[in-house]
């Protein structure tokens, strides 16, 4: 008999969502609510994997301010291409491949970023964040590699159904001590349906039944199975929209001449070409359901960067308010993340069939605790 472990990372599985699902993951009795980080998975997953906040590990949102060395260099020439052509899916696919050819191996999408503006931005996620060496800070995966622990993992590159089936086979027939699966399917369902969606409930039931099946598989082989279920953030149902771009359009202060902005789904981030541009822009957003984040708030949230690469000023919408249209899309969605982490629906979770100490209360606490679990797993292997 041997001890093996499975780590299931489910994107957007919020504490409140799971708590409201009757009988969900009943085989994992040890449960902790986790405070997440401001932003999206691009910041939350590195925090989960490194145990550091975004301001420390250097990753926050998908796009940051770029320079002449950025992966979109030369894309400014697209302004000479007719708009209909440059916004086509064929050109988009070509640009996507060009960016990959420039060494970007992490997850990214062009979304609806105006393509001539891409040159002014960059993608900080160049490596594979699920692999050793893929993050700018030491990660759980680096630790696994140092330990020489046999392991396997599946991420967004593999469909959820195939990954789950592959993991089951490895658990039944393989030799790995640790199996890791990341899935973003629930995140996509929540965006489409909201927290009360039929597909969401069905997916939670699917995960619950799968976890039970894994335990039975391991028992049938005579193994002890340690199970860990963790998420990166929750999701807030969208109740209204805010058109930030429409507020900015009438200003004499123009983008990109006087300032540069990136419009995420829940926040607008600004860089100023001229100091005089700041006040009219800030004033134009008065009355919208949101607030400007000062330096002290960004410090407290662990999202302040000395180089202001992710924005000199940040305007964050209230929970449940969707920035529409944005560079991330012009169609409404039923639920969104990226809001103030203190909102109850934003909390992440950690479930396990192993005792979890009370000190594990933040996303940034999980890595250290998993290290102690790897220590114990290594001892069982000896």
Same domain as 261, residue 207: no
Q: Which residue has the tokens 């993050």?
A: 135
158 with 305, same domain: the answer is: no
* Interatomic CA distance for residues 212 and 4, integer angstroms: 15
Considering the domain architecture, whether residues 324 and 346 belong to the same structural domain is answered as: no
At 68 the pLDDT is 86
pLDDT of residue 382: 41
214 falls within a domain = yes
pLDDT at residue 121, rounded to an integer: 97
Same domain, 18 and 163: yes
Domain range for 181: 3-56+128-237+342-381
pLDDT of residue 378: 78
Q: How much is the pLDDT for 2?
A: 86
Whether residue 82 lies inside any domain: the answer is yes
Do residues 351 and 226 both lie within one domain? Answer: yes
For the chain, 382 residues long, give each residue's pLDDT as a single digit of tens: 689 999 999 999 999 999 999 999 999 999 999 999 999 999 999 999 999 999 999 999 999 999 889 999 999 899 998 888 888 989 889 999 999 999 998 899 999 999 999 999 999 999 999 999 999 999 999 999 999 999 999 999 999 999 999 999 999 998 999 999 999 999 999 999 999 999 999 999 999 999 999 988 888 888 899 999 999 999 999 999 999 999 999 999 999 999 999 999 999 999 999 899 999 999 999 999 999 999 999 999 999 999 999 999 999 999 999 999 999 999 999 999 999 999 999 999 999 999 999 999 999 999 999 999 999 987 654 4
Separation of alpha carbons 43 and 63, rounded Å: 11
Q: How far is CA 370 from the centre of its chain?
A: 20
Which residues make beta-bridge pairs with 335?
Answer: 237
Count: domains in the chain? 3
- Residue 337 placed within a domain: no
Backbone φ and ψ of 226, nearest 5°: -95, 125
Identify whether 173 is preceded by a cis peptide bond (ω within 30 of 0): no
CATH code at position 258: 3.30.1360
With respect to residue 362, please indicate whether it lies within any of the assigned structural domains: yes
**Residue 358 confidence (pLDDT):** 96
Q: Among 21, 59, 24, which Cα is nearest to 232's?
A: 59
* Inside any domain, residue 215: yes
Cα atoms found within 13 Å of the Cα of residue 56, Cβ hemisphere only: 17
Can you say how many angstroms the Cα of residue 200 is from the centroid of all Cα atoms in its chain? 18
- Both 214 and 114 in one domain: the answer is no
Which is it for strands 224-230 and 348-352: parallel, antiparallel or unpaired?
Answer: antiparallel
141 and 223: one domain?
A: yes
Identify the domain boundary among 92, 124, 156.
Answer: 124
Whether 23 and 37 map to the same domain: the answer is: yes
Shared domain check, 221 and 119? no
HSE-up of residue 162 (Cα within 13 Å, Cβ side): 6
99 and 174 within one domain? no
Q: Give the domain-ending residue among 124, 141, 163.
A: 124
Among 124, 148, 166, where does a domain finish?
Answer: 124
Q: Are residues 348 and 281 in the same domain?
A: no
Q: Are residues 233 and 244 in the same domain?
A: no
Please report, to the nearest 10 degrees, the dihedral formed by the alpha carbons of residues 312, 266, 69, 44 taken in order.
100
Residue 338, pLDDT score: 98
CATH of the domain at 365: 3.40.720.10
């Amino acid at each position: 008999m041997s001890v093996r472990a499975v780590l299931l990372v489910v994107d957007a599985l919020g504490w409140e969502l799971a708590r409201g699902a009757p009988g969900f993951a009943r085989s994992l009795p040890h449960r902790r609510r986790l405070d997440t980080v401001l932003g999206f998975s691009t910041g939350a997953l590195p925090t989960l994997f490194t145990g550091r906040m975004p301001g420390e590990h250097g990753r926050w949102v998908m796009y940051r301010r770029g320079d002449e060395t950025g992966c979109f260099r030369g894309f400014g020439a697209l302004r000479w291409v007719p708009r209909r052509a440059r916004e086509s899916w064929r050109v988009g696919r070509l640009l996507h491949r060009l960016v990959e050819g420039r060494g970007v191996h992490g997850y990214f999408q062009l979304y609806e970023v105006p393509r001539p503006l891409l040159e002014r931005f960059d993608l900080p996620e160049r490596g594979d964040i699920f692999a050793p060496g893929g993050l700018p800070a030491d990660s759980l995966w680096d630790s696994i590699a140092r330990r020489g622990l046999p392991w396997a993992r599946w991420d967004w590159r593999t469909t959820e159904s195939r990954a789950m089936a592959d993991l089951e086979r490895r658990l039944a027939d393989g030799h790995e001590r640790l199996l890791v699966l990341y899935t973003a399917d629930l995140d996509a369902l929540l965006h489409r349906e909201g927290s009360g969606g039929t597909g969401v409930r069905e997916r939670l039931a699917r995960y619950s039944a799968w976890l039970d099946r894994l335990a039975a598989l391991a028992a049938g082989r005579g193994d002890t199975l340690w199970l860990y279920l963790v998420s990166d953030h929750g999701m807030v149902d969208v109740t209204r929209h805010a058109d930030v771009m429409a507020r900015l359009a009438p200003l004499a202060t123009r983008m990109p001449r006087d300032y540069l902005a990136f419009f995420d789904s829940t926040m607008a981030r600004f860089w100023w070409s001229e100091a005089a541009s700041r006040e009219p822009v800030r004033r134009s957003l008065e009355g919208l359901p949101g607030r400007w984040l000062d330096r002290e708030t960004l410090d407290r949230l662990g999202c302040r960067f000395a180089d202001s690469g992710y924005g000199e000023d940040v305007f964050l919408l209230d929970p449940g308010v969707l920035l529409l249209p944005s560079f991330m899309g012009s169609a409404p969605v039923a639920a969104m993340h990226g809001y103030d982490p203190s909102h109850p629906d934003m909390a992440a979770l950690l479930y396990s069939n192993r005792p979890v100490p009370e000190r594990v209360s933040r996303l940034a606490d999980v890595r250290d605790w998993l290290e102690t679990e790897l220590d114990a797993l290594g001892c069982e292997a000896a």
